[in-house]
Structure 1
Amino acid sequence: MKKRYLIVLLVLILAVASMPVFAADKGTLTIENATIGKIYSAYKIFDVTNSGDAYAYTIADSSQWYQEITNDPDPPFLLEKIETSTGKYNVSIPDENLAFNWLQSKADAIRNQSPAITPDAELTAESTRLEFTELDHGYYFITSELGSIVTISNFSYNIQIIDKNQEPVLLSKEVSHSCEQNSWADFCSAAIGDILNFRIQAFVPKYHKDKRVYRYTFTDEMDAGLTY
């Protein structure tokens, strides 16, 4: 015999914008669906300049990311030296999918401190909405303790992204005779014919990878010590 518990989630559809971030001077990057208590880090890969709808990426040879790119035998970015500037390069991105995968691998490596790259900004989420304000305009990617967030397609002055790296977590399973506030416990004694109440508590994210979640199903199997 199995008992099924359903939790229906009404998911607010949020507008998603993407990196790079750029503005006249500074920009704001907002993360929705952030996990409270987790650290989020912003890394600026390239500088960016824009005029109207046109934009250009550059990187200096003093950047820690310059070393990562030039030391890679097959990087997803092409660098061309700017002859009128000392130690600066124009950057082009031939394939955004390759760039995405490259940044994903770097995010995984950074979490293991290899390479040990310092973030340009770092915040701990105190609510499900997290804002990086006063960011220098540039080409960024964001990592969290749960995984990486990388978006590299659209452009705006202030942008919003959604953290989709969360995983569901079962927090507790409890039983009670009466359902009164202080009666819930991990276990209880009961006689044949008693009516018991069960409840579960869980963290259920709004997204599973890149898909929005509308329903979770919990399946409870009978313990081996029970017969029926």
Structure 2
Amino acid sequence: MKHLSKMLKGLVAVFAAAAMALTLAPTAFAETSYKLTLNGTATGHTYEAYQIFTGDLSTNAEGKKVLSNVKWGTAYTGTESAADVAKALGDGTMKIEELEEKLTLTKPVKTVTSSEGSTVIDGLAAGYYLVKDKDGTQANTSDAYTTFIVQVVGDTEADIKSDVPTVQKKVQDTNDSTDTTSDWQDSADADINDEVQYQITGTMPDNIADYTTYKYVFTDKMSKGLTYTAGKATIKIGNKDVTKSFTENVTPNTDGGTTVTWSCDNLKGIDGVTLDENTTVVVTYSAKLNENAVIGANGNPNTVNLTYSNNPNKGGDGETGKTPDDKNIVFTYKTVVNKVDQDTKSLAGAAFKLEKKLSDGTYKEVKSFTAGKETTFEFNGLDDGDYKLTETATPAGYNTIVPIEFTISAEHDTESDDPKLTDLSGDVKSGEAKFTADTNTGSLTTDVVNKKGSTLPSTGGMGTTVLYVAGAAIVVAAGIGLALRRNKRQDA
């Protein structure tokens, strides 16, 4: 919001005009009261109006409304001449900070509760007013204290702008099969044990110059599916690494998650750093997606907020505000394989190995099972990408399947305050399978069929008899042939 020192600089000429009015022949107006309309207000504020200067409302030789016979309002209790102070402010011989020291802000002439959109302070006599948030009313809110001076020489309007920092949390999405990495966005997917890359960006308020000190604290709350290792963050202001100017604190939460804070008591005290309204503070770090990761649509969220100094009237010390949480999320999936025979009945005795295809064409094993009584095999914690399912043990009497190559594809909101998993699919490239997708559970399920192999008939069966007969015929034929050859030799 527009604070005292910032606003007064723009009113120097007005104060000079007020001082000049003392020497001009004004045209006086009848005593009346006016209203001040504050535009752009939000609920949750209590505004106080303090009268700094009062006087006679007049029109000077230039036709402008001014105050003549300027004197102190109720916000001043000293003995100095109001006209002299106004003149000193006008010609620059008195600093704004000196005026602040002269004011006693204990008796507002008006106190109002803010409304959404605009707020009216009425019943004001002509004069100059300092309007401010009541002390203690903006502690731990997402807003900041405001202080500004406005001239009231008729019904007047003033614009209120919220000068508070913002914070934004982003994540990168990497596909190991294609070796592609996304821009910073609000969602990603990953394999269990992947290191997920995060970035937090905090901004400055427009009135950062009005603060003597400026507290700045990032609070990042990670769900239990994410593991952060202390000391892995890098913090920069522009190109300058300021990590050592922040204190990191890692705290386990009762729900199994972790809260990490990076705090600096005074950004303005960091050597070599100059802050302005365009300055950003950027935190980058990685966290591992661990074995506790939630599979499917609920995902693995983390949130961040920023605690900041919000009272420039006290130099920045003391009270702080806090931004709303900014959320992002990492999704992970699973493949479920049901082993069945050609009649779709569950079939025990199989074993499988799942591998992920990497960008260089090699394969990395995800998980393998040994043969046993299991007929359902779950491969949990999978990213999008290309995979190969191989049957490493086959039930007795059945043929081994051709390896199944397939691609997991997913879509999720990349720009959203509350990112959602919107689509999941499994596309078979080779082998025989058909995946059924469930975005809620994050699962791709398929039946894998083993077919019975070809075997010789058992001993004594018709097939064996045929073989015996065929064998005997061959022996007889051989005997006849031998006898014929002997007879030919004897005749010769």
The TM-score normalised by the length of structure 1 is: 0.49
More contact order relative to length (CA 8 Å, sep ≥ 6): 1
Higher helix share: 2
The TM-score normalised by the length of structure 2 is: 0.26
